[in-house]
A and B are shown apart, each in its own frame.
Chain A
Amino acid sequence: AQSVTQLDSHVSVSEGTPVLLRCNYSSSYSPSLFWYVQHPNKGLQLLLKYTSAATLVKGINGFEAEFKKSETSFHLTKPSAHMSDAAEYFCVVTIGGGGSQGNLIFGKGTKLSVKP
């Protein structure tokens, strides 16, 4: 069975400092992995996806994530936080390979706060 564990329920950073949101996955298959962001009163938005073409994945708004099979991790990073990055972030896994979706299995989420 597929699952994801987000290691931090809440991360707080200062504006301009790096962001690290941690995610570990469990999958019987070669997984497809995604990060979604949820701003208050807005729909979930896809940040980036792992398609197995490259282990370092670049997404929107300067975010990137690195797939590490040996560590079963897919951590999300950004070099410099912006106030507008404050939101809830979800790590997601599916059984579809190559970046395909289908039924999405979400982690519990990490709330990112950005201090001025």
Chain B
Amino acid sequence: GAGVSQSPRYKVAKRGQDVALRCDPISGHVSLFWYQQALGQGPEFLTYFQNEAQLDKSGLPSDRFFAERPEGSVSTLKIQRTQQEDSAVYLCASSLTVWSTQYFGPGTRLLVL
């Protein structure tokens, strides 16, 4: 497929567990964005990569959230010591350049019990 893919699609974690969410962007897309969408809300920006460089992480809610894109392609969003308020859908988007149209993946729905 040519679209953005994310895995897992659903994740249930116990409070305090660490989780890792994966995003496979469209091949050749330089820019990659992560967003968090709480229930009943619009997505909110978390962080952004240009190739392997994380240029903006101003939206990460705490130092428990960490994102990486080591080879400038696949990205992983890691949440340490999950809390109930981390329950949300995590969306990944990629674009050819930072200013180009973003294409979104289906999201990972995280539920922290």
Contacts and interface: CB of A to CB of B under 8 A. Distances in A.
Interface stretch (B12-20, B62-70, B74-82, B92-100): B92-100
Interface residues of A, number: 20
Nearest to B103: A43
B91 A102 contact: no
Given A45-B104, A102-B99, A103-B48, A108 B42 contact: yes
Main secondary structure of the interface of A (DSSP, over half): loop
B41 A108 contact: yes
Nearest to A94: B99
A46 interface: yes
Contact of B4 (A41, A43, A103, A106): A43
Interface residues of B, number: 26
Main secondary structure of the interface of B (DSSP, over half): loop
Contacts of A103: 33, 45, 48, 56, 59
A101 B95 contact: yes
Nearest to B109: A41
Contacts of A100: 99-100
A44 interface: yes
Contacts, number: 54
B102 A101 contact: yes
A43 B95 contact: no
Contacts of A42: 106
A87 interface: no
A43 B107 contact: yes
B8 interface: no
B51 to A, nearest CB: 16
A46 B42 contact: no
Contacts of A90: 42-43
Interface of A: 36, 41-46, 49, 90, 96, 100-109
By Cβ-Cβ distance, the 10 closest A-B pairs, closest first, are A106-B42, A100-B99, A43-B104, A44-B104, A103-B45, A43-B106, A106-B43, A108-B42, A109-B42, A96-B99
